[in-house]
Structure formats: structure tokens, C-alpha cells
Chain A
Amino acid sequence: ETSQNGLGGFFKRG
């Protein structure tokens, strides 16, 4: 089983 992460966890916001 795989789950999909968002990009927010990888790239800095702002």
C-alpha cells in the first residue's frame, strides 16, 4: 500500500 503526500512537506511555504 502506498500513500500520497502533498508537496508542502517537501518545499518551504512562502
Chain B
Amino acid sequence: MLELRLVQGSLLKKVLEAIKDLVNEANFDCSSTGFSLQAMDSSHVALVALMLRSEGFEHYRCDRTISIGMNLTNMAKMLKCAGNDDIITIKADDGSDTVTFMFESPSQDKISDFEMKLMEIDSEHLGIPDTEYQSSIKMPSQEFLRICKDLSSIGDTVMISVTKDGVKFTTSGDIGTANIVCRQNTSVDEPENATEIKMQEPVSLTFALRYLNSFTKATPLANIVTLSMSADLPIVVEYKIGDMGYVRYYLAPKIEE
């Protein structure tokens, strides 16, 4: 028996919008720790890891560790029917081939339930080592969104270079080239407007903008995004979900031939 009640239902709606374009179907793993997911895109170049810790739910019952396979497009369709202020409850009985999403309006005057068919999904789990990254950048998530969107109108890939002077985003295409440099700036009114660069070693890696743009679908979840990079390793793009968990995206770098 699985029963998870999330008072801030809009979080789940935003999570689905953040991952459904990258991954079409995925297994959600439910354990006493929390509700999580790890899935790769169809080309196995990008991976999304979601964690919603059990403490963040108002009610969290998961009698045994289970994995429930869902089509994310269909799940997103159902969650779109929930109001932004609604409380969302996810329910699944043992051995059932369906999951139920229940939406309650804040004043309890409207209660809806949507039942969705589950799927059997063969998924490959990757072991992601805990790594100390050579560079990490914390910046406003809106700023990162803007940079990815702007650069993708010029080129297909972006080189992200971190030095002590700042982080530089470079692209080039048929019409020309573009460089955007962001410097560390922590003297701002609000911490969410700060750009913070931590660098042990300078790093320069190239990535496909198409994927980075897809990751920015998570922008409504967090004001700050963290980019972590080490030479010859996938970048990690992390959006924290309050103090409840995170959505992390991993993207393999492009290699010079």
C-alpha cells in the first residue's frame, strides 16, 4: 500500500513539467526514504534524478519498497487537472496495475480522483559516484534559462569555461559567435540573485544546448540552479525543491574528435 499526501501539490505538477520532455516513461521508486526516480533520455546522453524525501509529505505511507512505472506524458496530463493550490495524494494498492491521483481544493469543496494505468518498464539504473567537482556555479535559474535560450538561437553547442574570473558560455554557428561571461556577484540584496563561483581547477566542457534547454523546464521549481563540472565528466545541473529534495540532470560532454 502506497499513500503519499503532498500539501503543496503544485510542486508535483512542476516536477512533471520539468522531466516529461526528456523522458517519456519511467519507474518511480518508493521507499521509506522518499519518492524518487532515475531515468535516461532515449539516446542515453542525459539522465534525470528526482528525489522527494518522505519528510516533505504531510502523510507518507509506503509499506514496502516498490517501483511504479508510469507514462510521464499521461501523468502530466492528469496532474494538469489539479489546481495550483490543490493538495495531491498519490495512492496505489499492492499488486494493482493502476495508480490514483486525488486532488483536494484548499477549502475541501472540490475533490477529484484520476486513475491511471501503470506500465511495466525495463529501466537501466546507473550508479552515479559521489564526486567532488572541480568547479561549481550557483546562479539565478532565470539567468541560466536566458543564457541557454539566447545561445541556442546562434549555435547548437555551448562551451562552458570556468576560470577564476568567472564562467564563460560560448557558442558559434553559421551566423557568428557569442560569448556570455558571468562574474561572481554575491553583493546583492537577495541571495537568490547572487552568482557564486567555486573553483578548485579551471574546467572547460562542451554540451549540446538542446539538452540544457530541456533542463531549464525545471526553472519554476527553484530560484537558484547549481552547475557542477569536472574535466571529462558529465555536468550536473541541480534545482533544489525547497528542503524536500531535488531534480538533478546529468549530461555527457561532447568530445573533440
Contacts and interface: CB of A to CB of B under 8 A. Distances in A.
Interface of A: 1-14
Interface in B214-250: 233-234, 250
Interface stretch (B114-122, B124-132, B161-169): B124-132
A10 B234 CA distance: 7
Give the bracket for the number of chain B residues in contact with chain A.
20 to 34
A12 B234 CA distance: 13
Majority secondary structure of chain A interface residues (helix, strand, loop or mixed): mixed
Interface of B: 40, 43-47, 124-129, 157, 206, 208, 233-234, 250, 252-257
Contacts of A10: 233-234, 252
A1 B254 CA distance: 9
Given A2-B157, A12-B126, A14-B127, A7 B45 contact: yes
A13 B127 contact: yes
Contact of A11 (B126, B206, B255): B126
B212 to A, nearest CB: 13
11 contacts: A2-B157, A2-B255, A3-B254, A4-B45, A4-B254, A5-B252, A7-B47, A10-B234, A10-B252, A13-B126, A13-B127
Contacts of A7: 40, 44-47, 126, 234, 250, 252
Contact of B254 (A2, A11, A12, A14): A2
Given A2-B256, A4-B45, A11 B128 contact: yes
Contacts of A13: 124-127
Best-buried of A2, A7, A8, A10 by chain B (most CB within 10 Å): A7
Contacts of B47: 7, 11
